[in-house]
Amino acid sequence: MPLPPRWLRRLILAPGIIVLAVLVVSTIPLWLVIAAAASPFVPGYLRPLRVLWLLIIYLLWDAAALVALFGLWVASGFGWKKRAPAVQRAHYVLAGWWLTFLFWQARWTLRLRIDVVGTDPDTALPGRPELVLSRHAGPGDSFILIHALVNWFDREPRIVLKDTLQWDPAIDVLLNRLPNRFIAPPDDRQESVTEQIGHLATGLDHNDAFVIFPEGGNFTPGRRARGIERLRALGLERMAAKAESMRHVLAPRPGGVLAALDAAPDAGVIFVAHTGLDRMLTAVDIWRELPMDKRIVMRFWSVPPEEVPTGRQERIDWLFDWWARIDRWVDEHR
């Protein structure tokens, strides 16, 4: 389904979420009674009740975010100064508060625990911009990463995302006001994807973190197989063989990473792996695994700018070698 134009999302989708939230709040007792009555007949401890509660919280979170964002828009002169540094910082602070609340609820409702090991992007070399290259697998892993960067490491992320995420009104409004880039299938009037990524990575300052998911989507066995076939169809047999040796990750797509490295030569590179969401590949998997009762482990590795290769092919080989390392780490910690 194609994404509606921005004016329609602002005039219909965003107000619709607020109206829906009001309706849900007014009928919460009814929904909770139904979910509680269904819980004894569904495997898992109070699964319907806990999942319903989290959905209600997310809906209210979305609606509250839209109200706050409207207030910031008015305070910025009805959008006139929305790019001013103070206004941008206010948006990052609000994003941090919202993510803190969301993960507090996830810990309480789903018994979800998140542990970060490895390099702290602020202690490795304070005051240096970073390019953050992350594995992508399982629902919500991008939320977890941004939560870590904003609230634990005090970074201001610039994120490369799929344009379909703009179906969520709060994400749509917030991230379109900040320096992020929603990537859509290009047409003749648009910049190429690599050009868009290069522009986004230009001008990073001391507390910026440029975030990209080189795999281009969540891991599934089907996507892994198609990625290997695509490399073979392009005649890239050596890269296809490397991709075939990795069992838990997709072959990285180097174009966006190369563009970011060229645009930010003074930035360090942070590689991110995580495990704990690996079995949640489909909607059926997600329902089976909820409530999670899980420990998610995120691993950070830091590479200083001087250790990043300079040649194009050397950088591609370096990226594949790091992805093979991430694959081995996931295999050891699943």
- Compute the radius of gyration of the chain from its Cα atoms: 21
What is the Cα–Cα distance from 279 to 276, expressed in whole angstroms? 8
What is the Cβ-side half-sphere exposure of residue 35, based on CA atoms within 13 angstroms? 19
Q: Which residue segments constitute the domains of the chain, with CATH numbers given? A: 83-333 (3.40.1130)
Residue 297 forms beta bridges with which residues? Answer: 115, 275
**pLDDT of amino acid 5:** 92
User: pLDDT at position 142, please?
Assistant: 86
Give Cα separations from 300 to 192, 211, 225, 297 (angstroms).
30, 13, 27, 10
111 DSSP 8-state letter: -
pLDDT at site 151:
92
Q: Where are the beta strands (DSSP E) in the chain?
A: 113-118, 130-134, 156-162, 181-183, 208-212, 268-275, 295-303
pLDDT values of the chain reduced to their tens digit, one per residue, 334 residues: 789 999 999 999 999 999 999 999 999 999 889 988 888 888 777 778 888 888 899 999 999 999 999 999 999 999 899 999 999 999 999 999 999 998 888 787 777 788 877 765 555 456 789 999 999 886 678 888 999 999 988 999 999 998 989 999 999 999 999 999 998 766 544 568 899 999 999 999 999 999 999 998 888 888 899 999 999 999 999 999 999 999 999 999 999 999 999 999 999 999 999 886 766 656 666 666 665 567 788 899 999 999 999 999 999 999 999 999 999 999 988 7
State the chain's maximal CA–CA distance in angstroms.
62
- Facing residues of 158 across strands? 210
